[in-house]
Amino acid sequence: MLKYYVTAAALKGFSCTPLTRRVYRNLGNSVGGKKRATEKMPGYYLERINRMLRFARKYGIPQDGSRLLELGTGWCHWEALTARLFFDLRATLYDVWDNRQMGALKNYVQQLDGSLDQVDADSAQRASAHEMIGRINAVETYEELYQLLGFEYVLDPAGKLAPLESNTYDMAVSGGVLEHIYAGDARDIVNAVARVLKPGGYSVHSINIRDHLYLYDTTASPKQYLQYSDRVWKTWFSNDVQYINRIQRSEWLELFGSAGLKLVEEEIEPEEISGLKIAAEFAKFDPTDLSCGGLRLVHQKLA
């Protein structure tokens, strides 16, 4: 657990002031950007594409003409970008800070071009994706990229979707984003997602409910944070540069349901938590909640 504690201390140190937070972001984008520009694309990136294509076949969204909103687009706009390879759609890319990395984007897209045979698409879709990847590789700036794809980039530090019009999008999607929004803002943000969706539109989110500090120390439990009270967590472990909100599965279900969104699909990735002493704040949750590590939720906005 030593790496767990050391990492927590380092991240809290970077969270101390606006200057240290800015230094952390700059270092992360510089060092991480160089790494992602040359590294092998994570294998689960292909699964994210196949999940999107299965969803399109089942629900008819996304499709040609769709309006898509990607929340927290990060380094390479993966959800919107890959949807655009297969469908002639428009997308809004919404971020609270600018972590865009063109090197990572092009590296991953080039690797995808060589892996299209692993994508659950028909031959015409693969040919369309191959042609679009070639055009993406030819651009030099984000402005050229967005003009090519029909995308708009919205940078909004407030993070509550206020600049976006109501009843506009056929789909709102995110991957590994909602666990990072501040707990106190979660209800407002979920309500805002419901607001911007068209009636009949879909809200599709993958939420990583695991303790992210465990990624630095695998001797810790994937849900190690269940052991710590709110006071202990806030004092020693919570930070502002890699913040996680510790919101659990049933709480997410309540937030989306209260926003007027109907649950259509739920997928849970359970984790082993035996041996963890559960803090009093989490004693109210049932075993399904406590063991939930990965959560994928699909909701629909009813007419």
| Tens digits of pLDDT across the chain (303 residues) | 899 999 999 999 999 999 999 888 888 888 888 888 999 999 899 999 999 999 999 999 999 999 999 999 988 999 999 999 999 999 999 999 999 999 999 999 999 999 999 999 999 999 999 999 999 999 999 999 999 999 999 999 999 999 999 999 999 999 999 999 999 999 999 999 999 999 999 999 999 999 999 999 989 999 999 999 999 999 999 999 999 999 999 999 999 999 999 999 999 999 999 989 999 999 999 999 999 999 999 999 997
Class of the CATH domain delimited by 2-301: alpha beta
Structure tokens at 44: 């689960």
What is the per-residue pLDDT for 209? Answer: 97
Structure tokens at 298: 């699909």
What is the per-residue pLDDT for 303? Answer: 77
CB burial of 240-271 (b: ≥16 within 10 Å; e: otherwise) equals ebbbbbbbbbebbbebbeebebeeeeeebeeb
The continuous run of DSSP H or E covering 224 comes out as: none
Cis omega (within 30 of 0) for bond into 163: no
What is the per-residue pLDDT for 173? Answer: 98
Distance CA 100, CA 29 (A): 8
Distance CA 175, CA 73 (A): 8
CB burial of 13-30 (b: ≥16 within 10 Å; e: otherwise) equals ebbeeeeebeebeeeebe
Structure tokens at 199: 């009636």
Among residues 154, 249, 164, which one has the least CA distance to residue 201?
A: 164
Residue type for 151, please? F
Q: Identify the bridge partners of residue 90 per DSSP, sorted by sequence position.
A: 67
**Entry pTM:** 0.94
What is the per-residue pLDDT for 34? Answer: 84
Q: How far is CA 7 from CA 36, 47, 62, 213, in A?
A: 22, 30, 40, 7
Structure tokens at 291: 């063991």
What is the per-residue pLDDT for 25? Answer: 86
Among residues 170, 163, 142, 145, which one has the least CA distance to residue 69?
A: 170
> Which residues have C-beta within 8 Å of that of residue 48, sequence separation ≥ 6?
78, 79, 82, 175, 206
What is the per-residue pLDDT for 83? Answer: 97
